[in-house]
A and B are shown apart, each in its own frame.
Chain A
Amino acid sequence: MKMKLQRSDKIFEYEVPLSGVTLLEALGYIKENIDSTLAFSSGCRSSVCGSCTVRVNGKEVLACAYKPKNDDLIQPLRNMPVLRDLAVDMDRALAFNKIAKAWGLPKEEALHVSGEDAKRNELQSDCILCSACFSACPVYAVNEDFIGPFALTRALRYVNDIRQKDIKPTIEAIQTNGIYDCTLCNECVPVCPQGVAPKQDIEILRNKSGIMGYFNPNILAGFDDGLNF
């Protein structure tokens, strides 16, 4: 099987004499047998740690959950610095979790949570922070401070948690460079290996923000400039 790997700005071809293996196993074969300088990230091999995300023919996948085909082009994720070959620096992307204030803010007393309550944020908490959505998001081309899909999904996880003492700090934190900067293009949804839909989560957060008295600044700007009210 022939595989093409983007390393720095060049494309390298490798012949991997294996079949039926995962892309992660194929990359391991190249590193151990052909070129030990190849860099990529890996961890659990079973799709829960989110380390090995790369792009195959332009689409984000977990290397441990993808079986490569002849002539596939493997590239690093977008929207973050490449450390080397397929390994990227996640520091800046992960910092958006903190900017979004996506964390538990416990009430003083314990609370009974029903099965129905638990369903309210079960899917959002399936996120493994693999960054597939972050890489697929086109907003970063125009706004590198965009809080982005996974951090906004994480914000909704806590906003929708009935155990949360106060949701205002999180809602407040995602007004600027947050929910209104998303173009609702849906690129983040099909690439998620966990079936999470950040675009939908962002729409829910917009509605909640509206109910809490926050305004979409883009709409106000539209009235000002476009319609000249």
Chain B
Amino acid sequence: MVDILIIGGGGAGLTAAIHAKKNGANVTLVSKTYPTRSQTCMAQGGINAAIGANDSIQSHISDTLKSAQGLADEELVGILCEQGIDAIKWLDRIGVPFSRDNGIAQRKMGGASFVRACYAKDYTGLKILHTLYDQCNAYDINMLSERFLIDLAVIDGKVYGAYLLNIKTSTVELLHAKSVVLATGGYAKVYGKHSTNHVGSTADGIAAALRAGAKISNMEFIQFHPTALKKSSILISESARGAGGYLVNSKAKRFTDELASRDKVSLAITNEMQKGEEIYLDVRHLSAKFINEHLPQEKKLADLYENIDLTKQLIPILPAAHYTMGGICVDKNCATNVQGLYAVGECANHMVHGANRLGGNSLLEIVVFGKIAGEAACAYTKKEMPACKADKHKDIPSQINTNPTVDFYKKRTELAEIFYTNVGVKRNEQGLLVALEYIQVLQDELKNMGVKNTKLAYNTELAEFLEFKNIVLVAKTVVLSALRRKESRGAHYREDMPNKDDNYSADTICYQENDEIKFL
């Protein structure tokens, strides 16, 4: 048995592992892919901290609260912004190769009053993630890859480990731990091809937490990034607009402030599309030299996925699901309501993003709360604790239907389309009810779905089917939460109720009981 089992190898999990180990805990970290392949590597823009000469912690706090539209906790936003400065200093000391001018280079992001996002070229997430991974090697942390979280092991409301599918062999492993930290990422892949995310953002930790009795909140808040490539939802970074790029419609007319916050720009684009317009990002007026120097990734991706030269052609774009604000309810120590279970990063709701996350605040969140989660889990394991109860291994592979009559890959695509249409940038009661009915039928059909591949070695179809079941469960909580919030706020825009309503200034909190989703 280990002291702490950390599930998830992105920035949040690695940071928690380092700080738990520093504090003397025996740590094992498992991840469903290799840690350096996690979603964190895709973060391009930067990590916010008020280290600029004119900037202040107070300004960072007030920008974050403003964007959160009443749904963030002031104390927690305070912790995020205050500790942000030490977080950057720590990353700098362990070797993150930030870009430099007079000090760590910073750029401006939407909704920020100052130049605040520290960056490392267009690779901020990648370089932070790799540096953390190297630190985990320095601290000799046991890292096990290709492990899929099947379920948390919980008895009497207390966690004592997790059941993991070893994807390489299709065997189930029960790892005992005094404490478990979930750092499993978000749920934007509910939107399938309409998401900018990594293929692994399938809500595995949130679904497992729900099944284990944890509360989750604000699932209706999903951030749509305004500029994803039309065919592939590959992200074109905000820096393209920051550098002066325009958004135009089919008549080559600009229609919105390109540098407003993401919820507002995505809404403006969707309004325009509903009038029958195609939407494009236009960077042709920026010089080819500037594009080659500052937007080389964008140029390459536009060529690869849209077959266009953005120095000469318009880039067809669409808003796509990018970040999920909702997640597992945690207190300021990242503790859930299940004893011994902690959650950190995008899978948790740290109550700092509220209704709309600011660019540059999510990398900050994983480093600041990663430390807090690692230290808190470590303190918990130092208390006196009764020995955990042994339990029979769950034999998941043998319970899978191997003669499926319904193809889950087709259903996964269908669900994504229904979600993008009915639970997208704009929602209304009628559309949400259509989505809910679809999910209820899907849940009944799950018994007819399964895995045709019965081989044990590296059966990715099995892992993808388990992911799909998690997606279905979490999708249901998103629709139910969106139905309950009869107002518009931040990323949750209801066409039928377009105004903010103070009766809805509380979190939407739900949990699962007897296979039913219930709300507080």
**B33 touching A51, Cβ below 8 Å:** yes
Interfacial chain B residues near A101, Cβ < 8 Å: 138
**A49 touching B103, Cβ below 8 Å:** no
**B200 touching A45, Cβ below 8 Å:** no
Interfacial chain A residues near B1, Cβ < 8 Å: none
Cα A158 to Cα B127 in complex, Å, equals 13
Tell me which of A44, A89, A121 contacts B168 (CB under 8 A).
A89
**B93 touching A36, Cβ below 8 Å:** no
* Segment 177-209 of A: residues with Cβ below 8 Å from B: none
B-binding segment of A108-116, A139-147, A210-218, A220-228: A108-116
CB-CB under 8 A for A154 and B134, given A39-B458, A121-B97:
yes
* Segment 99-144 of A: residues with Cβ below 8 Å from B: 101-107, 110, 112-115, 117-118, 121-122, 125-129
Cβ of B312 under 8 Å from chain A: no
Cα A9 to Cα B243 in complex, Å, equals 51
SS class, residues of chain A in contact with chain B: loop
**B101 touching A115, Cβ below 8 Å:** yes
Question: A65-90 vs B: 1/0 string, CB under 8 Å?
Answer: 10100000000000000011101011
Cβ-closest chain A residue relative to B94: A104
Question: A26-66 vs B: 1/0 string, CB under 8 Å?
Answer: 00000110001101111111111111000000000000010
**A103 touching B137, Cβ below 8 Å:** yes
Chain A contributes a number of interface residues (CB within 8 A of B) equal to: 58
Interfacial chain B residues near A2, Cβ < 8 Å: none
Cα A84 to Cα B461 in complex, Å, equals 12
User: Nearest Cβ distance between residue B90 and chain A, in whole angstroms?
Assistant: 9
Tell me which of A40, A83, A129, A161 contacts B36 (CB under 8 A).
A129
Tell me which of B33, B37, B304, B457 contacts A84 (CB under 8 A).
B457
Question: B189-204 vs A: 1/0 string, CB under 8 Å?
Answer: 0000000001110000
**A43 touching B458, Cβ below 8 Å:** no
**A113 touching B100, Cβ below 8 Å:** yes
User: Nearest Cβ distance between residue B475 and chain A, in whole angstroms?
Assistant: 19
Q: How large is the interface on B (under 10, 10 to 19, 20 to 34, 35 or more residues)?
A: 35 or more
User: Nearest Cβ distance between residue A50 and chain B, in whole angstroms?
Assistant: 6
Q: Which one of A48, A105, A106, A113 has the highest number of Cβ atoms from chain B below 10 Å of its Cβ?
A: A48
Tell me which of A36, A67, A129 contacts B452 (CB under 8 A).
A36
**B131 touching A104, Cβ below 8 Å:** yes
CB-CB under 8 A for A83 and B95, given A97-B137, A104-B134, A104-B135:
no
Tell me which of A97, A98, A117, A121 contacts B100 (CB under 8 A).
A117
**A49 touching B42, Cβ below 8 Å:** yes
Cα A31 to Cα B462 in complex, Å, equals 13
Tell me which of B34, B301, B461 contacts A37 (CB under 8 A).
B461
**B461 touching A163, Cβ below 8 Å:** no
Interfacial chain B residues near A103, Cβ < 8 Å: 95, 134-135, 137-138
Cβ of B435 under 8 Å from chain A: no
**A44 touching B134, Cβ below 8 Å:** no
Cα A110 to Cα B123 in complex, Å, equals 23
Cβ-closest chain A residue relative to B455: A37
Q: Which one of A46, A157, A164 has the highest number of Cβ atoms from chain B below 10 Å of its Cβ?
A: A46
State the B residues within 8 Å of A (CB).
33-34, 36-39, 41-42, 89, 92-95, 97-101, 103, 120-121, 123, 126-127, 130-131, 134-135, 137-138, 145, 168, 198-200, 232, 234-235, 297, 300-301, 304-305, 307, 409, 451-453, 455, 457-461
Query: 12 A–B contact pairs at CB < 8 A?
Result: A32-B409, A39-B458, A40-B460, A43-B199, A44-B41, A91-B145, A97-B134, A102-B134, A118-B100, A125-B130, A128-B36, A158-B134
User: 20 extra interchain contacts, Cβ-Cβ under 8 A, other than A44-B198, A46-B42, A129-B130?
Assistant: A20-B307, A36-B461, A37-B452, A42-B199, A45-B199, A45-B232, A49-B38, A50-B37, A65-B300, A67-B304, A89-B168, A91-B145, A106-B94, A110-B93, A115-B100, A117-B100, A118-B99, A121-B97, A122-B97, A125-B97
The 7 closest A-B pairs by CB, nearest first: A104-B95, A84-B458, A83-B458, A103-B134, A103-B138, A37-B453, A106-B93
State the A residues within 8 Å of B (CB).
20, 22, 31-32, 36-37, 39-51, 65, 67, 83-85, 87, 89-91, 94, 97-98, 101-107, 110, 112-115, 117-118, 121-122, 125-129, 154, 157-158, 161, 163-164
